[in-house]
Amino acid sequence: MFDFKEILSVTLILFSVIDILGSIPIIINLRKKVGHIQSEKATIAAGVLMVLFLVLGKSILNLFGIGVEDFAIAGALIIFALGAEMILGIEIFKPDTSASPTSTSIVPIAFPLIAGAGTLTTILTLKSEYTQANIAVGIVLNLVIVYAVLKSTNWLERKLGQTGLDVLRRIFGIILLSIAIKIFKSNVFAG
């Protein structure tokens, strides 16, 4: 049932899409504005959104008459845009930073920064390639990483520096572009 290779692939794909390390500057900026971000609350809220979409996402698509392959192709295009954004240093998907200080842990941290459109699209897209159980494990592993990063953003900022964060962001951008092309090819030429 559980496949280590699939779990590793899913974990890396989601890690690249969530881009929690690349989000450290945004999180630090929000923390300066509101004082404190509740890491536990943000992680749990993002996890609930991702698992709900993993379980109910296909049913939601069926309501609109959209197939998983169609969604996977759309997801591949979004993943491609996210990868291009990371490599080119441009901002296509802008987080809503106008949320009230009391809800900052949920909006914009949990949604859309962690469990945003790219992440939710990727989860559904992954269902065309991997088993649901392996995706669920990948989600949980990413939530552990997200929680650790949220708890240690100040320390990470000091250790990696801006150059280190930029290099990581571009590496994950290239990985995302490759993943997007693979998903696109496998779903366009599947039928």
For residue range 66-107, list pLDDT tens digits in order.
887 787 788 788 778 878 887 888 877 665 555 554 467 787
**The predicted structure's pLDDT at residue 101:** 47
| Structural contact between residues 58 and 71, judged by C-beta atoms closer than 8 angstroms | no
Query: Alpha helices of 64-152 — where are they, by DSSP H?
Result: 68-88, 117-126, 132-151
Residue with tokens 């295009």: 77
Within 13 Å, how many C-alpha atoms sit on residue 188's CB side?
11
**The predicted structure's pLDDT at residue 165:** 78
pTM above 0.85, yes or no: no
**The predicted structure's pLDDT at residue 149:** 93
**The predicted structure's pLDDT at residue 93:** 61
Angle of helix 39-63 versus helix 117-126 axis, rounded to 10: 60
| Structural contact between residues 27 and 37, judged by C-beta atoms closer than 8 angstroms | yes
**The predicted structure's pLDDT at residue 191:** 58
**The predicted structure's pLDDT at residue 155:** 86
188 alpha-carbon distance from chain centroid: 23
**The predicted structure's pLDDT at residue 46:** 96
Query: What is the mean pLDDT for each group of 10 consecutive residues in the chain (191 residues)?
Result: 95 92 76 80 95 91 85 80 82 60 71 82 89 97 96 83 81 82 82 58
